A and B are shown apart, each in its own frame.
Chain A
């Protein structure tokens, strides 16, 4: 069973944290400039800019570290370094908290209103880390704030936010239980902040855990559905293969009779044997398409090789030439690929394009036009097959690639059709990491566009 890619999700979020920090570096620099030059606060600008610079350098280092540890996801794919990534994210949050504390110390300490930014870090850690790690980070943040407040009151210098803002100073003469009011205020802030951190972590972790569980549920349900789909495909493949064997025997027996090898037939006998033969052939075509589709869906390995598309597309057009001229349909092609190469299953791609061209011929009235154009577009080749045919009703367009679906007007025009041709095309394009789309206008025509990646 495929594991839930929570490791990959963590890596993505770790990069997101780095992007967020770039914004923080820019915002901090601007805030320092604004506060000192515009508002006129007496700030320790050199130190504060220094902290912003440190944040930038440290962010770059974390980015390099993450690139180094996160790369094995693409290359080896076996053992994802989840522990290293987790350690890096934990380290980032801790260093962020430390940096924020230093920043607060040099810009007013606990009285700096930006102290609420600690709360954002708690939210971030609750989203990115496990509940246990988040509570540890909350405790670390509380200790940092408490330590800063304590040291500023005892040994460290306290940098007041002074300038154009008039701060209300609390008289140091008043005491409650022998503690000055200012110290009381500081202790209160530390206690409230500590409670807030833990509460934020609790709320965010609860929501995150719930979401993670939900996501895991969806993921498992999806895997189960995929497995069931596979079982269905295996079943269809086995049944259709058996049917195909019987059909081959019926067809061979009918051929022997219809070709008069067991004696001459009268007109009515010949007519009815002919009808049986025709229906058997239709059924065999359907069964073959169904087998091909289930085989493509079931097999993971693709027998790919490099090949030039130019000739392949010309072959496809030539394969439909006779049917087009029978219906007096003008079939043209413009192939401008200058030997561009595709890496894929040549037979599948040839079969798919031929089928699409034959489809266009089939649903284009006599005297109409079918055009195949193949051009290079950057590292892709774009193949369009357009016709002046009956078109597809607009509301049916989203379903044309569905298995067994046939447009209502297609059914009215041609009784025979498996409803599997376009599903096969979609499956083949998907296996080649390409795209297929359709545009159509009823009565004016249809254009199928296929995009396939090229090799340089």
Chain B
């Protein structure tokens, strides 16, 4: 079975690095980007099996916009997106209940930062198996 390829996009390089190590230790191939534009370019070039996005990158809602853009693209509408965020407390938005709403928050999974390695791996495997 070929290794699944995952793109991780987050503006916090430390988080990106930690997530990368966790995923690589579980035999995934990981590519990273630190902002929305690079992330989109990387995803379009590499066509990964899954994308891990942060909600709030350099700009507020960059992650949302990226997810919406990808789901509109016929090449990527079936690619699962896992969203990581520490933003919930700031906005008061209950992301969990909105995750999966195709118009508002078109993501397939949602996890609070910091994510325990086991939780991250379990969620990634679950999304890839679908």
A→B interface (CB under 8 Å): 237, 241, 244-245, 247-249, 251-253, 255-256, 259, 261-262, 284, 288, 291-292, 295, 299, 303, 347
Contacts and interface: CB of A to CB of B under 8 A. Distances in A.
The A interface, classified by DSSP as helix, strand, loop or mixed, is: helix
Contacts, number: 58
B117 interface: yes
Contacts of A251: 114
B12 interface: yes
The B interface, classified by DSSP as helix, strand, loop or mixed, is: helix
Contacts of B89: 241, 244, 288, 291-292, 295
B15 A261 contact: no
A238 B34 CA distance: 22
Nearest to A241: B90
A245 B22 contact: no
Interface in B101-130: 113-117
Given A251-B114, A261-B25, A291-B90, 18 more contacts: A237-B90, A244-B86, A244-B89, A248-B86, A248-B114, A249-B15, A252-B15, A252-B115, A253-B14, A253-B17, A255-B114, A255-B117, A259-B22, A261-B117, A284-B114, A288-B89, A292-B89, A347-B94
Contacts of A256: 18, 21-22, 117
B92 A252 contact: no
Residue among B12, B92, B116 with max Cβ neighbours from chain A (10 Å) = B92
A237 B18 CA distance: 26
Contacts of B114: 247-249, 251-252, 255, 284
B19 interface: yes
A253 B116 CA distance: 11
Nearest to B11: A245
24 contacts: A241-B86, A244-B86, A244-B89, A248-B15, A248-B86, A249-B14, A249-B15, A249-B18, A251-B114, A252-B14, A252-B15, A255-B18, A255-B22, A255-B114, A255-B117, A256-B21, A256-B117, A259-B22, A261-B21, A261-B117, A291-B89, A291-B90, A295-B89, A299-B92
Residue among A256, A291, A295 with max Cβ neighbours from chain B (10 Å) = A256
Interface in B87-101: 89-90, 92, 94
Interface residues of B, number: 19
Given A247-B114, A261-B117, A252 B18 contact: yes
Contacts of A253: 14, 17-18
Contacts of A259: 22, 117
Contacts of A292: 89
Sorted from nearest, which 6 A-B pairs have the closest CB atoms?
A252-B18, A251-B114, A249-B14, A291-B89, A248-B114, A248-B113
Contact of B19 (A237, A252, A299, A303): A252
